[in-house]
Structure 1
Amino acid sequence: MSFLENAISAIIKGKKTVIKPIFIKEFTQDNKQLKDLIELSNKVVSGKKRLIDRDIILLKYGIDGEGNVNYELGNSFIPMLCLHDIRLQSEDYIAQLDFVLITYKFIYILETKKLNGDIEINSDGDFIRTIKSYAGKTIKKEGMYSPITQNERHVKILKDILVREKIIKAIPIKSAVIIANPKTIIKKTKCPKVIQNLIYKYDQLITLVNTELSFAKNEPEMREKQMYEIADYLVENNKPIKFDNKSKYSLTEEDFTTSKKVIIKERVVRQTLDDLRAEETVETIVKEVQFKENEIIKDEVEPEVVVAVMDVYNTLKEYRLKTSRDEGIKPYMVFSNAEMETLIKANPKSKSELHMVKGFGDKKVEKYGEEILGILNK
């Protein structure tokens, strides 16, 4: 049985069904768009994952704000029908309605905003948002598109649709912007009165609706049948937006495949841990990681080559450590990190080529040449 049929049945029996908030289309934390984004984030391995994760945070933030408004409505004891997240399309026009409240006297459209920072509305009606640090220092000020203008456009589209469909004739449709962040401060004393009366904090919402109902107590009452007709129409004609996330983030097959760069990065991290276990200094480790990332390991290098290069790198380090201990000298006296890096890049095949590597003179070539060339050739 539809909402309208329920209402008709109650009216026939002489009952008034709307005596408290009734959610015809309920708010839920189980958001499909959020689920899809989280699932996508778990699959994407490229840098685009950061963009997706940023949007997940913003979406969670918005859902949390709508949850605050929903709580206030559910505990208001106001006789009304409530609908959350209705999207209507009329020709080329789209109305996205966060909350629709259908009372006996009027329809209220609420645009919810959970904004960071403080909101100031100047005498021209411009919205200016101030972002502050935890210490209270202003980080930046920025203008923002008026949510009042946005919501009024949606109200006009809704009214045009309902009148055209002959569902309403002269029922008032009111509009309000609800700031759903409890920490946000709204400064609206300097703005035009008409704007002051359209923007409220979420904890002022119930007072707002009750005040409007009090003002309209002598106005004609809407029949319950019509209230349910409006609710039924909105639910039946709700057109949820279908997000094409692959297009939005310009995702390709490569974004879902662990790239060579990722593989290389993982190997660099593992090698860094090995270096720490070997009790190298932090400065040495940083230099070595930078060398491996920036000099040897390039995106175009195949993972197999990376493994081979790192094997040579580690083998040379082991040889240097063993030799220095055998001779009772410091490892850098066998060859320094810089000389080892140059050595690997040069990759000499003979003693004559080894002579051309910076830092390898006659004495070093004669003393360590055979072993070094053996490691490199292997």
Structure 2
Amino acid sequence: MSIFDKLLNKRTITSPIFLKEFEDNNKQLQDLNDLLEKVSSDKKNLINRDIFFIKQELYGEKNVYNELKNSFIPMLAIHDIRLEFNDYVAQYDFILITAKSIFVLKTKQLNGDIEITEDGDFIRIIKNKEGKFLRKQGMYNPISANEREVHILEEILNREKLLNSITVKPIVVISNPKAIINKSKCPENIKSNLYKYDQISTLIKKILDDSKYAKELSEKTMHEIANYLINNNKEENIDYRSRYSLDKVETKNEDLDKVSNLQINNVEKHVDLNEKEIELSEDNNDFKQNEKSSNNEHSEVYELLRQYRWNKSKEEGFKPYMVFNNEELNALIEAKPKSKEELLKIKGFGPKKVEKYGDAILGILNSR
């Protein structure tokens, strides 16, 4: 290689560069706290619970962010990206773009003792305050969800001709320093994709050092990938009136529109109610009850749809809101479509989603 070529290919990315930074006090918390001031009913409990969940998730993500920021790894980093591809939606906590590989990090604020079986099942060990064993409880598998989201990212980047044979590596990061994870019996694909946050820098450096791929991304392509992801970030707006079943009686401010227009970007990422039902213990009974539809006439169908959503998410290995989110669930209850043609008219239900879930949804809606 000539001196000119060496100068032309000189690397200027020598440390982590965050092109979309982590935000400690983001708009999500600001909007929920703002809403909390306007609600006078028992819905305050639901909002406070959501605020707690978001703070827990942000605390964990901050641990990961600090570790990455101080890693000295030459990379472009992006925090909190939501992409839409055909009828699919994928949420990414961190995407790290290096010359040799792209890393997709899903952070999990797991609590307590977690055991992973030979079959890859995640089991939470429930103990009392004295540390005495009470029972075991199955929980959501974050590995499968992250692998699915990596597949979507690969499809997107290949379509845009940006991947250039570079591998995309999924990693689930346990962001709670107190969590105890027993991986001694788990399958190798889980063991190699699940790490505590304080191990992540060492892991990435090792993967890059051991990389057998001679081909590297140019810095120009690295920036093109990062810019594409940021420019195509689809922020999701949630209608609080639907989410909390708010009405004028329940608010101090008579202008309900002001409440319903307080929307938050990407709440589903931090507050997936079905997943939290698994992750928390007995103290969730009131929360689950309050999440039910306030309309008694529809409550049974509402719960059947929620149960179907949860079962499908476990079966397919991703979060329940990716089947359909709470706003779409409420739209189903309100519209009660009789056919796939009517189902296609509901926002969020494209041809692929209707083809995949339509028969089951219509069966539930029209069974009562």
Same fold (TM over 0.5): yes
Q: Distance in 1 between matches of 2:133 and 2:103?
A: 35
Q: Distance in 2 between matches of 1:23 and 1:246?
A: 35
- TM superposition score normalised by structure 2: 0.65
- TM superposition score normalised by structure 1: 0.63
The Cα of 1:16 is off from its aligned counterpart by 2.0
| Paired residue secondary structure (1:65) | helix
| Paired residue secondary structure (2:226) | helix
For the 8 Å contact 1:167–1:230, the answer to whether it is kept is yes
For the 8 Å contact 1:45–1:258, the answer to whether it is kept is no
Correspondence 1:273-288 to 2 at 5 A = none
Look up the match of 1:174.
169
Could you tell me which amino acid in structure 2 is paired with residue 179 of structure 1? I
Q: Which region of structure 1 is more displaced relative to structure 2, 200-209 or 237-246? A: 237-246
Look up the match of 1:256.
251
The Cα of 1:165 is off from its aligned counterpart by 1.4
Identity over the aligned pairs, expressed in percent? 53
Q: Deviations over 1:25-78 (max 9, x none)?
A: 111112111111111112111111101101100110000000000000000001
Assess, with a 3 A threshold, how the Cα gap between structure 1 residues 135 and 219 changes in structure 2: closer, same or farther. farther
Look up the match of 2:354.
none
Q: Deviations over 1:327-374 (max 9, x none)?
A: xxxxxxxxxxxxxxxxxxxxxxxxxxxxxxxxxxxxxxxxxxxxxxxx
Assess, with a 3 A threshold, how the Cα gap between structure 1 residues 136 and 74 changes in structure 2: closer, same or farther. same
Look up the match of 1:147.
142
Identify which of structures 1 and 2 has the higher relative contact order when contacts are C-alpha pairs closer than 8 Å and 6+ apart: 2
Look up the match of 1:81.
76
Choose which of 198, 222, 234 in structure 2 pairs with 1:203: 198
Correspondence 1:182-221 to 2 at 5 A = 182-216=177-211, 219-221=214-216
* Higher radius of gyration, 1 or 2: 1
Choose which of 147, 153, 156 in structure 1 pairs with 2:151: 156
Q: Structure 2: which 5+ residue stretches go unaligned? A: 1-5, 255-368
Look up the match of 2:293.
none
Choose which of 190, 213, 222 in structure 2 pairs with 1:227: 222
Choose which of 107, 111, 114 in structure 2 pairs with 1:112: 107
Q: How many residues align?
A: 249
The Cα of 1:140 is off from its aligned counterpart by 4.6
For the 8 Å contact 2:24–2:58, the answer to whether it is kept is yes
Could you tell me which amino acid in structure 1 is paired with residue 56 of structure 2? Y
Q: Distance in 2 between matches of 1:79 and 1:179?
A: 23
Choose which of 101, 104, 109 in structure 1 pairs with 2:96: 101
Q: CA RMSD in A?
A: 1.9
The Cα of 1:246 is off from its aligned counterpart by 1.7
The Cα of 1:244 is off from its aligned counterpart by 1.5
Choose which of 18, 23, 26 in structure 1 pairs with 2:18: 23
1:46 paired to 2:38: no
The Cα of 1:241 is off from its aligned counterpart by 1.6
